[in-house]
Chains A and B, each alone.
Chain A
Amino acid sequence: MIISMSFYSKDDVLAYYEQCQRDESKAVAVTAIETLIHFMENSKAETLQGLIAEMNQVINILKHTEGNVTSIASGCELFIRFITLESVVLESSPFNKVISILVEEGSKFIKKISKARAKIAQLAQQFIENGAVILTHSISKCVMDVLVEAKRMGKRFLVYVTQSGPDNSGKGMYDKLIESGISATLILDSATGYIMESVDMVIVGAEGVVENGGILNKIGTYGIAICAQYSNKPVYVAAESFKFVRLYPLNQRDIPNSLKYNSSVLEATRGDTRYQHPKIDYTPPNLITLLFTNLGVLTPSAVSDELIKQYL
Chain B
Amino acid sequence: VHPGDCTVQVHSGRGTVHPEVLRLGLRYASATILGSNSRCVALLGALTHLVRDYTTPADKELPRDLEDNLNANVAYLERCRPLAVSMRNAVKHIKRYINATPEKTPDHKAKSDILKCIEDYLKERVVLAGQAISLFAANKIGKDDVILVYGFSSIVFKILIDSFKQTRFSVVIIDGRPRLEGRTMLTRLTQHGVPCTYALLNALPYVLERGCVRKVLLGAHALLANGRVMGRVGTALVAMVAHARGVPVLVCCETHKFCERVQTDSIVVNELGDPLELVVTGHGDPTGGRLATTLNEGKNLTLLNLSYDITPPEFVTMVITELGMLPCTSVPVVLRVKSIEGT
Among listed A26-34, A247-255, A261-269, interface-contacting one: A247-255
A306 to chain B: closest residue by CB: B333
With the chains together, A12 CA to B250 CA distance in Å?
44
- A251 contacts which chain B residues (CB < 8 A)? 246, 248
Q: Is A250 in contact with B317, judged by CB distance below 8 angstroms?
A: yes
Which residue of A212, A286, A309, A311 is within 8 Å of B318 (Cβ)?
A: A212
Where chain A touches its partner, the secondary structure class is: helix
A250 pairs with B330, CB closer than 8 A:
no
* A250 in contact with B334 (CB, 8 Å): no
Contact B140 A211 (CB under 8 A): no
* B270 sits at the interface (CB 8 A): no
Question: Known: A248-B318, A286-B314. Is A304-B330 also a contact (CB below 8 A)?
Answer: yes
Partner of B327, one of A211, A254, A309, A312: A211
Give residues of chain B (313-340) contacting chain A, Cβ–Cβ below 8 Å: 314, 317-318, 323-327, 329-330, 333-334, 337
A254 & B140 in contact (Cβ 8 Å cutoff) = yes
CB distance from A53 to the nearest CB of B (A): 23
Q: Which residue of B lies closest to A285 (CB)?
A: B327
- Taking the complex as formed, is A301 at the interface, i.e. its CB lies under 8 A from any CB of chain B? yes
Do A312 and B215 contact each other (CB < 8 Å), given the known contacts A248-B325, A301-B329, A304-B329? Answer: no
Q: How far is the CB of B292 from chain A (nearest CB, A)?
A: 44
Contact of A312 among B140, B317, B325, B337 (CB under 8 A): B337
Tell me the A232-266 residues at the B interface (CB within 8 Å). 248, 250-251, 254
Cα–Cα distance between A248 and B318 once the two chains are bound (Å) = 8
**CB-defined contacts of B326 to chain A, threshold 8 Å:** 211-212, 304, 308
A86 part of interface (Cβ distance < 8 Å): no
Per-residue B-contact encoding for A206-236, CB less than 8 Å = 1, 0 else:
0000011100000000000000000000000
Please report the C-alpha to C-alpha distance between residue A254 and residue B247 in the assembled complex, in whole angstroms: 12
With a cutoff of 8 Å between Cβ atoms, the chain A residues found around residue B330 in the complex are 301, 304-305, 308
- Bound Cα distance from A286 to B246, whole angstroms: 13
Q: Are B333 and A250 in contact (CB under 8 A)?
A: no
Cα separation A285 to B337 with both chains bound (whole Å)? 23
Q: Given A250-B140, A250-B318, A251-B248: A308 and B327 within 8 A (CB)?
A: no
Q: Inside 8 A of A308's CB, which chain B residues have their CB?
A: 323, 326, 330, 333-334, 337
* CB atoms of A211 and B248 under 8 A apart: no
Q: Using Cβ atoms and an 8 Å threshold, which residues of chain B touch A213?
A: 327
Chain A residue contacts of B140, Cβ below 8 A: 250, 254
Contact B327–A304 (Cβ < 8 Å): yes
Contact check, A211 vs B333: say whether CB atoms are below 8 A apart: no
Q: Interface 1/0s, chain B 234-251, versus A by CB < 8 A?
A: 000000000000101010
* B233 to A: closest C-beta gap in Å: 26
Closest CB-CB distance, A81 to chain B, in whole Å? 15
Chain B residues within an 8 Å CB radius of A309: 333, 337
Closest A residue by C-beta to B330? A304
A97 to B327, CA, bound (A): 42
Minimal beta-carbon separation of B147 from chain A (angstroms) = 12
Residues of A within 8 A of B215 (CB): 250
- Is A250 a contact of B314 with CB atoms below 8 Å? no
Contacts of A311 in B (CB 8 A): 324
- The smallest beta-carbon distance between B104 and chain A, in angstroms, is 36
Top 5 nearest A-B pairs (CB, nearest first) are: A301-B329, A250-B248, A212-B327, A248-B325, A304-B330
Which B residues lie at the A interface, using CB under 8 A? Answer: 140, 215, 246, 248, 250, 314, 317-318, 323-327, 329-330, 333-334, 337
Known contacts A286-B314, A304-B333, A308-B323; 15 additional CB pairs below 8 A are A211-B327, A248-B325, A250-B248, A250-B250, A250-B318, A301-B327, A301-B329, A304-B326, A305-B330, A305-B333, A308-B333, A308-B337, A311-B324, A312-B323, A312-B337
Q: Can you list 18 residue pairs at the A/B interface with Cβ under 8 Å?
A: A211-B324, A212-B326, A248-B325, A250-B140, A250-B215, A250-B250, A254-B140, A286-B314, A301-B329, A304-B326, A304-B329, A304-B333, A308-B323, A308-B326, A308-B334, A308-B337, A309-B333, A312-B337
